[in-house]
Amino acid sequence: MLKVFISYASEDEEVVLTYWQRLRDAGFEPWISCRAVSPGAVWPRVIPDALKMSDVVLLFMSPRSVNKPGMVQLEMRQAMAKQQSAPEGQITVIPLVLEPCTVPGEVADLLQFVRLSDVGEWDRVIPQLEIAAQQRNVKIVSGSSHGPFRVKEGVIEDSWHGGSARFEYLTFESETHAEAAIELSDYFRGGARQSMIAARPLPWVANRRELRHDGSEWPEDEEQGAAVVVFANSAIVSVESSRWQYSSGAAHGNGVLITHNFLVTERVTEFTLESLFERQEEALQLISDSCRTALAQQHWEIWGSMPDEAASEWINSGTEPEWSNFQAFTMSDDGILIRFQSYQVAPYASGTPQVAISFFTLRDVVRSTGPVALARVE
């Protein structure tokens, strides 16, 4: 894989990490000090060695990095020396401007830089890295790794007069679970296509949008969907999907969470929360009680007080011991994560609260075989 060294100021770590993840998902091997340097390691030795071994250096520049003495300046000088000694035409250093700043002359005089604050500029970087990989005969393996699967994102989008829709979906690849990968890909691609068809208005409706009182048009309708793998091993895959919709004239958009939990041991089958338990009535009450306790604790941690009567009523109503209240769940290797819809247990501003319940808590009510046992196989 193409080795990409990331040079940045520590003050920019949070935003730079998002690009580090994008590089990983795109099939590159990015090196960033905050994730790669072990505690106690000698920085002046480890970082220059990693930069020297890299194929391409990304210089993330900001007012913090260009004016900060120390390691970040050493990285820039070493990167430019690496560029000067590279074969002509070989992509070795790519300067990236995070925020407006004065790009050092030794960089600006030699290399074209990319302003990441401009829309779409990051999309110019990936093709350059792909060229760099070709120049070095390095393979690019795109997608992110989840258990035995390599997962990539696809998108279906469309627009019409007065609205648009965009649905992202997941595709799966696997050498050991090839048939499961095909079925999972079909499942999510088909779901995205179905959502797109359902979102499109009839032609005579789309062309006859009502106007505001002042004669102007309402903001466009929007609908979006996305999915992410939250847990996967050789037996189980858990995916969280989100749908968001805005209708013109509304105060804000509304979203809904949908979760999918699959067994992938032989053929793909989807399982429900209640199927995890041998003693379902006891399990349901235990889940309800656990969620109420956890949500009250979250309220106390955020607001410094226990829920008042109105907040308690909201929590209790949304966690009544009914399976329908806990359908948005995903697996992990040590428990389940319950997600709540907007407005279910708290106001819209609280987003989508979540509660983790350990298998230890559920140990007396779960099935001895099945998904719970399989979640812990690795």
Average pLDDT over residues 47-58: 92
The Cα 86–Cα 91 span in angstroms is 8
The Cα 175–Cα 148 span in angstroms is 8
154-203 pLDDT per residue, tens = 889 898 887 889 898 999 999 999 999 999 999 999 999 999 999 998 88
332-353 pLDDT per residue, tens = 989 999 999 988 998 876 667 8
Phi, psi of 66 (to 5 degrees): -75, -20
Average pLDDT over residues 344-364: 87
Residues 6+ away with beta carbon under 8 Å from 28: 1, 2, 3, 4, 129, 133, 140
What is the dihedral sign for C-alpha 128, 129, 135, 137? negative
The Cα 193–Cα 180 span in angstroms is 20
205 pLDDT more than 70: no
Given this model, what pLDDT does residue 233 score?
A: 94
Residues 6+ away with beta carbon under 8 Å from 215: none
303 pLDDT more than 70: yes
98-107 pLDDT per residue, tens = 988 888 888 8
Quickly state the pLDDT bin for 248 (edges 50, 70, 90): low
Given this model, what pLDDT does residue 319 score?
A: 97
**3-state secondary structure (DSSP) of residue 332:** coil
The percentage of residues in the chain with a pLDDT greater than 90, rounded to a whole number, is: 50
Average pLDDT, the chain: 87
Per mean pLDDT, which range of 63-77, 229-243, 281-295 is the poorest? 63-77
Given this model, what pLDDT does residue 212 score?
A: 55
Given this model, what pLDDT does residue 85 score?
A: 92
Phi, psi of 255 (to 5 degrees): -125, 160
Given this model, what pLDDT does residue 125 score?
A: 92
Given this model, what pLDDT does residue 330 score?
A: 96
CA distances from 73 to 94, 128, 377 (A): 16, 24, 46
Given this model, what pLDDT does residue 118 score?
A: 81
Given this model, what pLDDT does residue 311 score?
A: 93
251-299 pLDDT per residue, tens = 556 788 999 999 998 889 999 999 999 999 999 999 999 999 999 998 8
81 pLDDT more than 90: yes
- pTM greater than the 0.85 cutoff: no
